[in-house]
Amino acid sequence: MNARLKINMLEVTRLTRDGRLDESMAILRGAIPSALSSNLGGDMQPGPKAATIGMVPPSLLTGKSWTSPLSGDADRLSKLGRPNALGGAGKRWAQLGLGRGLEGLARPSNRAPIVLPDGAQFGEHVFANQAGSRAYKLYVPSGYNEQPLPLVVMLHGCTQSPDDFAAGTRMNDLAEERTFLVAYPAQAQSANVSKCWNWFSPADQQRDQGEPSLLAGITRQIMRDFRVQPGRVYIAGLSAGGAAAAIMGATYPDLYAAIGVHSGLACGAASDIPSAFAAMRQGQSDLARAPGRPGRAVPTIVFHGDRDTTVNPVNGDQVIAQSKAAAELRTSVTTGEASGGIRYTCTVQTDENGQSILEQWVLHGAGHAWSGGSTAGSYTEPRGPDASREMTRFFLQCPPAVASR
């Protein structure tokens, strides 16, 4: 991969955003527009190739799909500006219209050193299988005394880390308060340079393959090493992590009793880079039903800001529609205002027993950030309703998952 191809990917991004998919695909196949060719500049000289695991693709959704870039490209990209929660990015991406709405949100972490309550643990572990290996951190509350506890798996957004995500969501505080386990898998930079979960890759949308197998493996490893309540395992995430959580809920409904998707996309919303940009921009209108339990809803809670310019809020609607499947549910709508001033509309769908199965929180005026989060972490909107607390409430009141036989 040379400098010319790297610049071409910027043009692919622009053309995809403008809806000119035929032209963007032509560039991906090797065509180079004359205007682009004339603007390559004379200072972009080919350098030694980096190893594939150190690739630095010039795309918001880059990952294992691309080959190695020029040596030192990471430093050049980092100087372009701040990253956003779906990957790559920075000032250059904002100029292309892909990072709008993130100003003031993608700030450096103000996280203080983590102070654990007496008796609590927050240690790092590793899981490996045929798809690779991933580290994860696990919060064990001080109230754990070998009794079975619920487990919540939290998937960070791009550029984030387990510690950052824990600080921003304050989920550890809730785990201490309500006595449950919390796991934070860490995406490897070797799998995606921006540490995004590869939700747009078909190989990472299938049960027992790729990243889903790793996340399920982490979950099961914790269930073996600690006492976890049967059927009381949940998964949630932000942005790319939210999209990955949707995939896990669709492909492992026997493992996860409910899912939380904050500012994410539905399972199968994209199958490559161009379709990922399209889905982020305008949703995916022809989504197939997720491969969950036939005719049964996957209990799901969604948060999405209606001013999110990174992931179109219509994607939240599509997550709910996909999770609902063919279930017959009753709908009620309430409105309110968080103490920080963000207004919201909450739509709840219940079954014939009055059990809440689907909840959708639309945050009016909010962008691409975790609602009610702490400024100690990145990508948070402290003025909104407390998404962590509401997700925890929703999870713990859901019926247990039924294990497959």
pLDDT tens, residue by residue, 346-399: 999 999 999 999 999 999 999 999 999 999 999 999 999 999 999 999 999 999
Residue 343 buriedness (CB in 10 A; 0-12 / 13-18 / 19+): middle
CB 246 within 8 Å of CB 238: no
Residue 190 has pLDDT above 90, yes or no: yes
Q: Is a pLDDT exceeding 60 seen at residue 50?
A: no
What lies within 8 Å, CB to CB, of 233 at 6+ separation is 150, 151, 152, 153, 219, 223, 255, 256, 257, 401
User: Is 52 exposed, middle or buried, given 0-12, 13-18 or 19+ CB atoms closer than 10 A?
Assistant: exposed
pLDDT band at 193 (very low <50, low <70, confident <90, very high): very high
* SS3 label, residue 111: coil
Q: What are phi and psi of 280, to 5 degrees?
A: -65, -35
The token pair at 381 is 């909107």
pLDDT at 21: 59
What was the pLDDT predicted at 305? 98
User: Distance between CA 33 and CA 42 in Å, rounded?
Assistant: 17
- Written as six digits, the tokens of 165 are 């995500």
pLDDT of residue 401: 87
Percent of the chain whose predicted confidence (pLDDT) is above 70: 69
- Output the pLDDT for position 284: 85
Average pLDDT over residues 81-94: 38
Handedness of CA 69, 75, 80, 83 (dihedral sign): positive
On the question of pLDDT at 279 being above 90, the answer is yes
pLDDT at 15 over 90: no
Q: For residue 363, what is the enclosing H or E element?
A: strand 356-364
Record the pTM: 0.77
| Closest C-alpha to 140, from 163, 156, 158, 117 | 117
Mean confidence (pLDDT) of the chain: 80
Position 68 scores a pLDDT of 33
pLDDT tier, 110 (very low <50, low <70, confident <90, very high otherwise): low
Give the CATH fold of the 121-397 domain. Answer: Rossmann fold (3.40.50)
DSSP designation for 106: S
Q: Backbone phi, then psi, for 132, in 5-degree steps?
A: 130, -150
Q: Is the pLDDT of residue 253 over 90?
A: yes
Q: Kindly report the number of other CB atoms within 10 A of residue 13's CB atom.
A: 24
CB 370 within 8 A of CB 381: yes
Q: Are 46 and 121 in contact (CB under 8 A)?
A: no
Residue 234 scores a pLDDT above 70: yes
Helix-then-strand count for the chain, H and E: 12, 12
Q: How many CB atoms lie within 10 A of CB 71?
A: 14
Least confident of 12-26, 222-236, 259-273: 12-26
According to the model, what pLDDT value does residue 326 have? 86
Residue 248 is predicted with a pLDDT of 98
pLDDT confidence band for 115 (50 / 70 / 90): confident
Q: Which of 198, 205, 125, 191 is nearest to 162 (CA)?
A: 125
pLDDT-derived band at 11, boundaries 50, 70, 90: low
89 or 158: which carries more pLDDT confidence? 158
pLDDT at 387: 98
pLDDT at residue 328, as a whole number: 93
Domain with CATH 3.40.50.1820 in the chain: 121-397
- pLDDT at position 22: 59
